[in-house]
Structure 1
Amino acid sequence: MSAQPEGPTTAAEVSAPDLRPKFITESERVRECRPGPVHGAAFLAAPQPMLLVGRDGVIVGANAAARALLHGEGTGPLVGRVAADLLDLGSDPRTQDAYREVLRGRQAPLGRTRRLKHAAGHSVWVRITVSPVPGAEVVLLSLNDISAHRDLQAGLRHLQTHDPVTRLPNRALFFERLTGALEAGAYEGTGATGRVGLCYLDLDGFKAVNDTLGHHVGDRLLAAVAERLTHCADLARHATGAPLVARLGGDEFALLMEDSTGTEQLADLAETVLEALREPFDLSGQLLSVSASIGVVERDVADASPMGLMQAADTTLYWAKADGKARWTLFDPERNARRVTRQALSSGLRPAVERDEFVLAYQPLVRLEDGGLRGVEALVRWRHPEFGLLTPNRFIALAEEDGSIVQLGRWVLETACRQARAWQLAHPDVAPVFVSVNVAVRQVWDSDLVADVARILAETGLPAELLQLELTESAVMGSTGRPLRALQDLSDMGVRIAIDDFGTGYSNLAYLSRLPVSVLKLDGAFVRGFEDGASAPTEPADALIVEAMVQLAHRLGLTVTAECVETLDQADRLRRIGCDTGQGYLYSRPVAAERISELLAERR
């Protein structure tokens, strides 16, 4: 059990530890602690392995059960040996101090579990209990062989921490290892890099294998994949060992590289894995081909947490799949920042309406014939508490995706109508301006737009002819059923319907004759190249397209508004070909409602 040689040993030959009382001689101590005849016989015959240890830490008595447990038959005596050395009670300072206190007379018992080396060569797990003996100069050490219990625990732990299909470490053991790898100070003083890397992979198309060939074939495929991944890990073995290969669930695997040397090492590992999985799998004569998508993350352990590392790996795996599958993708902080921002905006849209974080700006719509203010377009802005003032291109698409566009659109419509009515009441001596509001297709499908408009007009008192609703060309063209009925009902109510960004979608002018449309808004892409003068000549194609659309629109009884008008040349040319209204930075950027009030006051 100890590093000392076997064979007969006397108490006098053993050096006593520091705790040996100097006023008691060895012979006196052995004589005083020797059990009496009756008690001694019971002690020696007891099935419980026991040792008697003097105050100096030297064994003065041992029964047959203790000898069998620790030394077996035919070996030297235990009496005279230092118990702390024999039973590994001095391997850690805390245990050593507690053991010394018991030897000095402390009455509280001490319990420890130790793995000891048997004289025959095998290991034995022993539970050691050190108990003081009242009225005697000895302590009693009771020993319990718990090897079978420990083996059972080890077997159960293996079942709990390993996947039965692939026999790889499972998710629980993976996170245990990952947490250990990221513990503060785990690499201090070892000369290691203090970095960690992770390849998180998912098999492409594995579900199809399960669905078409059955789960038994899928399990055999997973086991075969595990073998190849283990081989790849062996090839990547470095100074601190091979990467840990684990199955996290389903067809998801991970390779954990502790003490990584950088992203290049992880990239090489990911490429090795992809190459290994490209070879078809022969499953009892059935050839199957699969590929994998891999997310790669590598960073300093000081800047990582298990949850953060896995979130980054999961995000990067998603990128690999979105980018075309069968590839590996390295974590990109900038790309992730955009994703996080998008997610933050999406989750905050609905509560933002309730918190009154949105505001409207208004851009003038000007008559090209005389430059008079004809109307305004209401443009929503988000005063985000973290990201500042956001324009619609940052959040409208998100609102359409999650359906919050219905709630937001209703707020915009109500706010714009109330403001337009306020202008009308504040400036009764000038011709009232209409307000144009953008409407998403989802507002038509997911809400009763007609009822909403009717209610808002009634509550605000705004005449229907002073409200214009803008829908995109792709949303209007081909409309049938509910959208078409809604547009017709709104038109019958007196509301003007405008097609926004016209010319970028279907551009089916003939279809316009069957829609209740009043206005076409030409996309700014046509207007930007629409100039006179040698310094900025008009693009011939743009000029022809714009002229044709204006002429055909007028023949259909529609008015035309040109967006993105920025120069006098553009405005003059558009006016000469008959365009009715202009909108753009030449006239004004989107401004607050107070500025529109000032413009109306100037018209008196």
Structure 2
Amino acid sequence: MVDDVRTVDGRAAAMLGYTRDELNSGAIDWRTSVKDDDIPAIEAALSAHLADNSRSFEAEYRMRHRAGHWIWVQSRGRVVERAADGKPMRMLGTRMDISARKLAEAEIAHLAFYDGLTNLPNRRLLLDRLHHAIAKAARGGNHGAVLFVDLDNFKSLNDTMGHDMGDRLLEMVAFRLSEVTRESDTVARLGGDEFVILLEDLGEDQQQAMGNAAAVAGKVLDSLSRCYTLDAHELRSTPSIGVVLFGAEHHTINDLLRQADMAMYEAKAAGRATFRFFDPHMQVALDASATLEADLRFALQRDELRLYYQPVVGHSGSITGVEALLRWQHPQRGLIPPGDFIPQAEKSGLIVELGQWVLEAACRQLVQWAGSADNAHLSMAVNVSARQFRQPTFVDQVLAVLERTGADPRLLKLELTESMLLTDMDDVIAKMTTLKAHGVGFALDDFGTGYSSLSYLKLLPIDQLKIDRSFVHDMLLTRHASSIVRAIITLAYSMDLAVVAEGVETRDQWEALEAFGCNAFQGFLFGRATPVAELALAVLPGGDTDCTPSSKQLAAMLDMSI
């Protein structure tokens, strides 16, 4: 210790590729073998031990091997002899090669902070860097930006070409993102097909920073929209990008990521393959949407949902059935029409629970009508959403409701839209066929506005086509709409299907439809959707009269009441 002389045994010498004599001869200074960056830590650990003999000396550092590479060494020791004045004279210790452990630790650290597929920073590392970037921008007033990148239709590619191909595409996307960003930028993968780019030092002026962020977003858009070649396949994939700036104002990490995500969805809503900056109005809309969703969940629990019924009138003017339409009696906002909450229910998945409630309530109403001779013949049409119909348990749920309520399945008609028929036709047909075998009927709603292929009409066990109201509205105004209405009626009868015209609002429309051969109608001319009590009083035949009014008499009465 006095002369700073170190002696090692043969094992410690072999660790560095030398013999014991070579290291102990003094020809090699131990300090020159230690990595310069590690010497301060060694000296600090040694000083701490010498100042307090109760603490052992321990240090981990790198030493150069004779072959030229670095190895990690762990040294432990203690002063075993001191002079009379307390000066350390001799120290004993051990030295161990911990390179394998250090390598494992580095790999573990890499896995903790980097994505295993793309080798990009993962969410954990992104959040750490975003935290520092926000603090830096707040101190210096220099703006930064967060770009949220989501690949359009990636799930379809993954499902059709396989996950291996999807993984390779993600690797290529990661490479292209790294190519169009600066070394100082952070490109991270959040998971799936979601990537985030953190840009710093975009300028003190907000407009300048916005221009710089837009330039990067444009480069990303161009790069990721170029063709990908994978196993001789040429693939096209485009991104939707949301951008949010941050600067001297107070920001939180969660706020920035949520706002960038909102802007990304605005880009998707704008047609995809584009980018959008976050606008505070998006937050207002999101808050309103979240409030609506929360209220809607309570609506199911608090019995705020109501069924209204719109009559379907036959050729003679008699009511043959009704369509059940959902309304929401909000405690503060009053009666809310479906167009104001059904889209949110679809988006959140609540549409499945709503659909189940509607089906149950409609079947209970059928049972009540079954006890009246005047109303027992009425059929009940219930709209089914695509999400509800695609539930694996949909058929079992319908049959369970019928059994639980005791409703006659022959009076229940489930209305599907053409868009539901575009995917997994075999599953659609199987479910319809099973329910059809139990007596449940099916109608194709809004016919003529969707796929409208004769090939699926031949395959589906449907009973009825419903002419979309847009054609009924225009048929007296344009020859094109009139021809479509005639064609749908002719097609339906040629396939032994019933046909209902929706949206009949005027006597002229009604008479024209009758002239075309249509014999079932629905619309304001015959009655708006009303609660069951009002429907029974104002529309349903019965009471003291034994006769059903003719179609013209019914129309006259309704015209006076509107």
**Does 1:175 find its partner at 2:131?**
yes
- Match of 2:490? 551
Structure 1 position 418, deviation (Å): 0.8
Aligned residues: 398
Cα distance in 1, alignment partners of residues 143 and 172 from structure 2:
33
- By how many angstroms is 1:416 displaced? 0.8
Match of residue 369 from structure 2 = 423
Partner of residue 33, structure 1:
none
Cα distance per residue 1:495-546 (max 9 Å; x no partner)? 3321111122333457545543222111112111122xxxxxx321222221
Q: Does 1:491 align with 2:447?
A: no
The structure 2 residue matched to 1:578, chosen from 514, 517, 526, is 517
Name the structure 2 match of 1:413.
359
Q: Classify 1:326/1:510 alpha carbon distance in 2 versus 1 (closer, same or farther; 3 Å).
A: closer
Rg bigger for which structure? 1
Contact 2:202 2:209 in 1 (8 A): no
Matched, 1:226 2:182: yes
Change (3 A) 1:268 1:372: same
Structure 1 distance, partners of 2:176, 2:482, is 66
2:379 is matched with: 434
Counterpart for residue 461 of structure 1: 406
Correspondence for 1:255: 199
CA distance in 2, matches of 1:221, 1:399: 36
Q: 2:276 aligns with which of 329, 337, 340?
A: 329
- Relative to structure 1, the CA distance from residue 306 to residue 544 in structure 2 (aligned partners, 3 Å threshold; closer, same or farther) is closer
Residue type at the aligned position of 2:529: P
8 Å Cα contact 1:198/1:313 also seen in 2:
no
> What secondary structure, in the 3-state scheme, does the structure 2 residue paired with 1:528 have?
helix
Shift in Å at residue 409 of structure 1?
A: 1.9
Aligned counterpart, 1:380: 326
**Per-residue CA shift, 1:158-199, capped at 9, x if unaligned?**
x99xx99999x97536424524765xxx89xxxxxxx87432
Among candidates 471, 489, 506, match of residue 451 of structure 2: 506
Aligned counterparts of 2:177 and 2:419: Cα–Cα separation in 1: 46
Match of 2:258 among 311, 315, 328: 311
Aligned to 1:521, what secondary structure does the other structure show?
strand
SS at match of 1:380: strand
Displacement of 1:454 in angstroms is 3.5
- The one-letter code of the counterpart of 2:326 is V
Amino acid at match of 2:401: I
Code of the residue aligned with 1:490 in structure 2: it is L
- Does structure 2 conserve the Cα–Cα contact (< 8 Å) formed by 1:363 and 1:589? yes
SS of 2:310's equivalent? strand
Offset, 1:574? 0.7
The one-letter code sitting in structure 1 at the alignment partner of 2:212 is L
For 1:301 and 1:385, the matched residues in 2 are separated by 42
Equivalent residues of 1:477, 1:508 under 8 A apart: no
Shift of 1:358: 2.6
Q: Indicate conservation of the 8 Å contact 1:166/1:222, yes or no.
A: no
Aligned residue number for residue 58 of structure 1: none
C-alpha contact 2:469 2:501 (8 A) present in aligned 1 = yes
Equivalent of 2:478 in 522, 536, 539: 539
1:562 is aligned to: 501
Contact map agreement 2:324 2:382 (CA 8 A) in 1:
yes
SS at match of 1:544: helix
Deviation at 1:303, TM superposition (A): 7.2
Unmatched 5+ stretches in structure 2: 1-108, 155-163, 224-236, 544-562
Change in CA separation of 1:524 and 1:595 when aligned onto 2, cut-off 3 Å? same
Give the structure 2 partner of residue 270 of structure 1.
213
User: Which piece of structure 1 moves more, 553-562 or 170-179?
Assistant: 170-179
Relative to structure 2, which stretch is displaced further, 207-216 or 292-301? 207-216
SS in 2 for 1:483: helix
Which residues of structure 1 form unaligned runs of 5+? 1-158, 188-194, 231-244, 281-289, 532-537
Find the aligned partners of 2:187 and 2:423 in 1 and give their Cα distance.
50
Contact 2:178 2:187 in 1 (8 A): no
Residue in 1 that maps onto 2:533: 594
Q: 1:440 to 1:260 in 2, by over 3 A?
A: same
| C-alpha displacement of 1:566 | 1.5
Alpha-carbon contact 1:266-1:296 (below 8 Å) kept:
no
Residue in 1 that maps onto 2:232: none
CA distance in 2, matches of 1:291, 1:512: 35
Task: Report the TM-score, using the length of structure 2 for normalisation.
Answer: 0.57
1:143 is matched with none
Change (3 A) 1:196 1:562: farther
1:190 counterpart residue number: none
| Deviation (angstroms), 1:594 | 1.7
Structure 2 residue aligned with 1:28: none
Query: Deviations 1:352-392 (Å, cap 9, x if unpaired)?
Result: 5344343222111122x333322111112345678765444
Matches of 1:494 and 1:275, distance apart in 2: 57
Q: Is the 8 A contact 2:144 2:246 kept in 1?
A: no
Native 8 Å contact 1:166 1:223 kept in 2: no
Structure 2 counterpart of 1:599, one-letter code: A
Asked if 2 retains the 8 angstrom alpha-carbon contact of 1:174 and 1:246, the reply is no
1:360 has 2:307 as partner: yes
8 Å contact 1:204–1:326 — kept in the other structure?
no
Q: Which amino acid aligns with 1:265?
A: Q
Taking the aligned partners of 2:471 and 2:200, their CA distance within structure 1 comes to: 54
The 2-side partners of 1:432 and 1:216 are apart by: 63
Q: How far apart are 1:558 and its partner, in Å?
A: 2.0
Partner residue in 1 for 2:144: 198
Matches of 1:171 and 1:449, distance apart in 2: 42
Q: Answer whether contact 1:196 1:298 (CA < 8 A) is retained.
A: no
- AA aligned to 2:309 is Y
* Counterpart Cα distance in 2 of 1:210 and 1:602: 61
- State the Cα RMSD in Å: 4.8
Counterpart CA distance in 2 for 1:485 and 1:166 is 45
Match for residue 74 of structure 2?
none
Amino acid at match of 2:409: A
Q: 1: distance between equivalents of 2:397 and 2:222?
A: 60
In the alignment, which residue of structure 2 is the partner of 1:297?
244
- Partner of 2:85 in structure 1? none
Distance 1:277 1:558, change over 3 A: closer
